[in-house]
Structure 1
Amino acid sequence: MCKLFIEADSQLWKPNTRSIRIDGVVTSIRLEHFFWNMLEEIADRDDLSVGQLITRLYLEAMDADHDLGNFTSFLRVCCSRYLSLIADGQLERDARLPLATLDGKSMIEFEAENSKARHTEIDKRRRPTH
């Protein structure tokens, strides 16, 4: 199992810092190449640059009153959720269908139900049987 992770391209976890302008303020964001690649893929779906995507995510998260004390963690989770939705069959990878046109509410509901069911199964497998 570990070969799958250990023998992956080591460049994927190499960090890279980029300067981004968010709402007129220049800031630096440090993420691993893997996450920059995912952000590029996500941005491309909606015909945005990575900077535009990050700005949009930041501003919409602020409008929703999210605490963005660790914005890089938020971006990593966004990327991971994107891949999880693909793995669960809720999104097609590399599709030209913009994410902005999708029914986010129903996808979030599916994601919550699926996550709960997955954790229930994990708990069942780990519960000691006597």
Structure 2
Amino acid sequence: MCQIFAGQDPADYEPETRRLRLNGQSTSIRLERSFWQIVDEIAAAEGLSTPAFVSKLHSEVLELHGEARNFTSLLRCACIVRVRHTMAPIETIAAE
């Protein structure tokens, strides 16, 4: 089982910073490459570019909660939600 987790390519967890606009404000978000790949997939599934998806998500969080206290963590958790809805159980992956 450890090979699944420990054996992953180090490039997958390299941090990557992307500059984009959130509600008209220029900002940068730093996530590991694996998270950006999932964010890109979610955006494509929603028919949006990644910057448009991230900005829309940020706007919705502001509308629901009045602030986005840790938006980068929210993005990571959104990736986890996506993966939970699409991945096979870990026992299946370990058996391969």
Q: Normalized against structure 2, the TM-score is what? A: 0.86
2:20 is aligned to 20
Higher strand proportion: 2
For structure 2, the 5+ residue unaligned runs are 89-96
SS at match of 1:48: coil
Runs of 4+ aligned residues of structure 1 deviating over 3 Å after TM superposition are none
Q: Is the radius of gyration larger for structure 1 or structure 2?
A: 1
2:84 is aligned to 84
**Could you tell me how far 1:64 is from its partner in structure 2?**
0.4
For structure 1, the 5+ residue unaligned runs are 89-130
**Could you tell me how far 1:18 is from its partner in structure 2?**
0.6
- RMSD, matched Cα: 1.3
**Could you tell me how far 1:39 is from its partner in structure 2?**
0.5
1:37 is aligned to 37
Letter in 1 for 2:3: K
Letter in 2 for 1:87: M
Q: Identical aligned pairs, as a percentage?
A: 35
The aligned length equals 88
Q: Normalized against structure 1, the TM-score is what? A: 0.64
